[in-house]
């Protein structure tokens, strides 16, 4: 996607995004009396800064800093490979770091991602997580749930439910990655939706 195609309808501006994250942080504090056991694990790319922001918000409010981690799901995707010389389903992925510098055993891991769509990313992230250890429980926090689930996956913390059509795309922009905070609704031609 080139930058010019990213102009779309703004669904959340910077203020709304910040209020939404604050609310999710409160919900995580309320649902987890043992905050010391909680680890926030962001899914690369934009889940990682979101997890860091939630970590700061939780620390400000509860005086306990949850462990922070990052998980890259590239090697756990279910759409690796094409045969017979067709164009690949997705361009060569950029592999990012998985960083889980704390033992997972016994912890409550809150997976953090920007947009929840088919659920396949979350499935891959759960599988990746279990190759590092055995968390006590796994919860899911997403900034936007846009529907169209293909797997039995349900978020525990949702910033905003945004029913979309498959030909639309939700673009989350974060200062850490995109120099601006916003959630946009972008229409894409049918053949580009995957």
Partner 1 sequence: MSSRPGSTERPHSGDAGAMAAGASPSIRLVTDELRPPGPPPRRHLLSIADLDRGDVERLLGTARTFAASLERHVKKLPTLKGHLVVNLFYESSTRTSSSFELAAKRLSADTLNVKSSGSSVDKGESLKDTALTLGAYDPDVIVIRHPHIGAPQLVARVTDAHVVNAGDGKHQHPTQALLDLYTIQQELERLDGLHVAIVGDVLHSRVARSLIQAFGLVGIHCMLVGPPALLPRGLAAEATSDIGAIRDADVIYVLRMQSERMQPGANFVPSLREYSARWGITPERLRPGQKVMHPGPMNRGVEIDPRVADSGDSLVTTEVRSGLVVRMAVLYDVLTGGPVGVRALAAAEVA
Task: Point out which residues bind partner 1 (CB under 8 A).
Answer: 1, 45-46, 72-98, 113-115, 117-124, 127, 130-133, 146, 150, 169-172, 194
Q: In this complex, which beta carbon is closest to partner 1, that of residue 85 or of residue 152? A: 85
Q: What is the DSSP string of 26-72?
A: HHHHHH-S-GGGEEEEEETTTHHHHHHHHHHHHHHHHS---EEEEE-
Task: Give yes or no for a contact between 57 and 21, defined as CB atoms under 8 angstroms apart.
Answer: yes
Are the C-beta atoms of 112 and 24 separated by less than 8 Å? Answer: no
Compute the least distance from the CB of residue 140 to partner 1, in Å.
Answer: 13
Q: Find tokens 């846009």 and name the residue.
A: 146
Smallest gap, in angstroms, from Cβ of residue 105 to partner 1? 10
30 or 179: CB nearest partner 1: 179
Least separation in angstroms between CB 34 and partner 1: 24
- Rounded Cα distance between 138 and 175, Å, is 27
Judged by beta carbon, residue 43 or residue 58, the one nearer partner 1 is 43
Task: Indicate the residue among 57 and 128 with the shorter CB distance to partner 1.
Answer: 128
User: In the bound complex, what is the minimum distance in angstroms from residue 62's beta carbon to partner 1?
Assistant: 29
Tell me if 171 sits within 8 A of 5, measured CB to CB. no
């Amino acid at each position: 996607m080139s930058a010019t195609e990213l102009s779309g309808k703004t669904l959340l501006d910077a203020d709304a995004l910040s209020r939404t994250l604050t609310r999710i942080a409160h919900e995580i504090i309320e649902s987890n009396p043992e905050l010391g056991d909680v680890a926030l694990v962001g899914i690369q790319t934009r889940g990682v800064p979101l997890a860091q922001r939630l970590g700061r918000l939780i620390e400000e409010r509860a005086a306990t800093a949850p462990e922070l981690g990052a998980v890259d799901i590239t090697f756990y995707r279910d759409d690796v490979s094409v045969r017979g010389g067709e164009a690949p389903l997705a361009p060569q992925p950029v592999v990012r770091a998985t960083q889980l510098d704390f033992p997972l055993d016994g912890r409550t891991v809150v997976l953090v991602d920007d947009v929840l769509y088919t659920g396949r990313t979350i499935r891959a992230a759960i599988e990746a997580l279990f190759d590092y250890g055995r968390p006590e429980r796994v919860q899911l926090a997403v900034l936007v749930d846009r529907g169209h689930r293909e797997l039995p996956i349900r978020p525990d913390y949702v910033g905003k439910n945004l029913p979309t059509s498959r030909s639309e795309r939700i673009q989350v922009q974060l200062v850490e990655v995109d120099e601006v905070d916003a959630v946009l609704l972008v229409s894409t031609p049918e053949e580009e939706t995957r």
